[in-house]
Amino acid sequence: MKNEKLRNLSRNSLSRLRKSKTTISTTRFHELHVKRHEFVSILFSDIVNFTPLASECTAPQLVKMLNELFGRFDKLAQENDCLRIKILGDCYYCVSGLPVSRPNHAINCVKMGLKMIDAVREVREATRVNVDMRIGIHTGNVLCGVLGLRKWQYDVWSDDVTLANHMEQGGLPGRVHVSKETLLHLNDEFNHEPGNGSLRDGYISEKKVETFLILPLKQTVHKTNSGSNRFLGELLTADHSLPEINMRASLRMSKFLDTWGADTPFANLKDKSMAKNIGETSLAMMESNLQSLPCSNDTRKWFKPEDINKVLLTFKDTQMEKDYSKQPDSTFKYSIACSGMIFICIGIVQVIMLPRSSTLFIAFGIGVTLFLFLLFVCIIDYLVNHKVMGKKVPSVVVRLTSILTYNTWCRIILSVITMATVLTTAVITVGDCNKNMNQTLNQTLGEPGTKDCFYASYYVVCCLMAMSSCTVFLQINFHAKFLVMVMAVLAYNVILHLVANDIFDRMDAITHHEARTEIFETRIKGSIYLAVHLITLHILDRQIEHTSRLDFLWKTKFKVEHEEVETMGSLTKVLLENILPAHVAAHFLQSGQHEGLYHESYDSISVMFASIPNFKEFYDQNVFNKQGLECLRLLNEIIADFDVLLSKPKFSNVEKIKTIGSTYMAAAGLQPGTKDMCTCCYIHNHNDNESMSHPIVSRTYSGQSNVSKLSACDLHVQFLAERRGLQGIPVRNNYHIIILVEFALSMMNALEGINRDSFNTFQLRIGINHGPVIAGVIGAQKPQYDIWGDTVNIASRLDSSGLTGKIQVPESTKDILQNAGYKCDLRGDVQIKGKDKPIRTYLITPHLKEADTEISK
């Protein structure tokens, strides 16, 4: 009856939550990345007796041992078409039938479980360490995906997942414990016997689930024995003595697991292929594109034919054509200089061979002045930047320089003017030639440079040189240059055949009056030369244009690829920091830092487990909530609000480790090197005007005191204690405990806000402990950051044995918190699983309104 009321309440509260969040803010409701999969099998496993073994290990030994074990399990999962979901301490669980549906999912999980047991049995028999494997399997439907905003870890949820977990807890060491639902999918492929799981687990008994134990395969046992005997023989022959066998169990196990040779996390980051790593795509993309750049023999690998029009040489992409035409021309000054050199050469030829009239000198003077001015304007910026000239240059000149460099139309106009100047100068003295045929008909060739124009053929030479000056403007569109040259050729032909035809005919008559050896007249030859030169220059311009456009296309595509590489690099960093703490992600992103296992040992770290006990009663799978999807939507909102708290500067020292169902695990003080110093970022980043106005603290930060910044953290804690009416300064190393407690209080306030929106009564049950822990990254295929140690285990048990709405801490943590001004009430001695004697615990009862005020400051 109670469960029915809770389920009805869940339907109403979810609809109210949607309405309230829509009213408050359209963006507050976070996106849910969860999908439903049917007909999958879930395997839960736990290493029996591993906790006391882990307590003997050093940080490198423990991380290496877990990496070898779970690395072997990952390989087994891959071989049996299973997907590893998560590692929880020494618990490993996976699913078959995800993300691809598989008809033999139950058989895969049973095979996987049997091989896991064989692997651990091999360790036990080889090292004589009393470890074993307990396996539980159930078949059903799951919701899979990620929850929250930070430290995403793919997970599965459903009543079937909960039952699979209890199948493991109610199982037996060295046996695969399956439900009847799983057994029905095995198709009688394995022998089995009654499991009696209901006698060992209350949840199985409550759900009245019939269970079975899979009988082990005999052939596997013999194979394992031979491998273990071989390892024992190697140990005995190493030192020819038995003390090697009597070494610590953890050391024996670590030595044996070394023989498995599991990959280390991110080990293949150093491989060039990088096909299995997060950051591999960016480098592979760049390498593949660099192999086919336009500098290679075959440009077709990089440039597609449809990118550029074959006739007009224009980009088919309109935007790319606009970008190409708008690009600055840093070579314009060189084009002006080359055109000026051609102009000077034309002038020299005309001064020597053609009439030396005043028209020539005036035109030549104007042209030289124009070229010098343009060249000066183009290079003024270069001269100023290289300190050849002083910086006292008129701003108008500097502005004109930038206009010439970046304004396309201005460059085109000046280029056309320059071309016209050169082209006109080539024939400007034609009108000064003497056209009196009767006086010069029977004369021989005279001196060059006179108005008789005995060497009129040099006009054709000057025209050819002038046409060449059009080609030097590389960034000007070849259509424009071709149009200018065509107009010049037409004008030259008019001069040759209509305006000055008698000059060229007289030259031919004087030159060939005795014997005509030439087939064509000078005028005809000049037209042919001009036409051939026009075609040659046009082909050259097309080639230059094509090369320039290919170069632009390469730069554009390479820029896009480079941006994609940078985006992927940033995404890689973001994703890596979303599964690892920032300092651990930085460790792996640094070159040469990913070859070994990452591990860190801490003397004092605070660990928190915060669960929502009544969420299990709230969760229900029915048609109204889409088989539990809407319940997970609410849980996603809760976890997301908790994650938002981590972005506050005050909680920069808090690291989210993982979520386990509706349990939120976090730790504080995990930054390397913080075990010997105080976390001063709290004071620097937390804008607490009241604390900074305290006389001692303010003097410390204003430089008026000789107190160091390290002691300023203690002063801040003292001020917090004074504000609460107590005295005493906690040890600097344990300052992170206060931060974590403040974070827990903020979580409670955040949950109260969700309760108000959804009309629910969720409450947190929190356990906090502090002490030494070992942190590291394990798993080559799906690296996972985790922390281990007795501190973590006790914190977890403090949560599971705690009271809703309160924070439970052990006596050692209570002493520090009381010194900081927190009120801790004695609860009594509580029996903790895994401990021979009960431990004395204390409860912190939050005053939400007061806590909310403090957090908002």
Q: Which of 230, 833, 835, 857 is catalytic?
A: 833
Torsion of CA 337, 343, 346, 350, to 10 degrees: -140
Contact indicator for 167, 207 with CB cutoff of 8 Å: no
Quote the CA–CA distance of 656 and 582 in Å, as a whole number.
11
Contact indicator for 721, 821 with CB cutoff of 8 Å: yes
Q: DSSP 3-state assignment of 170?
A: coil
**Other Cβ atoms within 10 Å of 808 Cβ, number:** 27
Token code pair at residue 108: 């895969």
Contact indicator for 197, 170 with CB cutoff of 8 Å: yes
Contact indicator for 319, 312 with CB cutoff of 8 Å: no
* Backbone dihedral angles phi then psi of residue 506, each to the nearest 5 degrees: -65, -40
Contact indicator for 534, 464 with CB cutoff of 8 Å: no
Non-local CB neighbours of 286 within 8 Å, separated by 6+ positions? 561, 562, 565
Quote the CA–CA distance of 626 and 157 in Å, as a whole number.
13
Token code pair at residue 598: 């990452």
Quote the CA–CA distance of 104 and 123 in Å, as a whole number.
29
Closest to 527 measured CA to CA, from 504, 497, 561: 497
Q: What is the CA radius of gyration of the chain?
A: 43
Non-local CB neighbours of 419 within 8 Å, separated by 6+ positions? 339, 469, 470, 473, 481, 484
Quote the CA–CA distance of 301 and 697 in Å, as a whole number.
66
Quote the CA–CA distance of 337 and 350 in Å, as a whole number.
20
Token code pair at residue 42: 């879930």
Quote the CA–CA distance of 214 and 193 in Å, as a whole number.
7
Token code pair at residue 446: 């005279």
Token code pair at residue 336: 């002006």
Q: How far is CA 206 from the centre of its chain?
A: 47
Half-sphere exposure of 261 (CA within 13 A, CB side): 1
Verify whether residue 756 is a known catalytic residue: no
Verify whether residue 557 is a known catalytic residue: no
Q: Which of 151, 523, 797, 806 is catalytic?
A: 797
- For residue 150, give the DSSP letter: S
Contact indicator for 725, 707 with CB cutoff of 8 Å: no
Quote the CA–CA distance of 667 and 675 in Å, as a whole number.
14
155-157 and 132-146 strand pairing:
antiparallel
Instruction: Give, in order, the Cα–Cα distances in Å from 737 to each of 516, 545, 666, 717, 817.
Output: 112, 69, 12, 11, 8
**Residue 99: cis peptide before it, omega within 30 degrees of 0:** yes
Helix (H) or strand (E) holding 840: strand 839-844
Torsion of CA 538, 543, 546, 547, to 10 degrees: -140
Quote the CA–CA distance of 63 and 60 in Å, as a whole number.
5
Helix axes 709-723, 735-758, angle to 10 degrees: 50
Q: Which residues are catalytic?
A: 797, 833
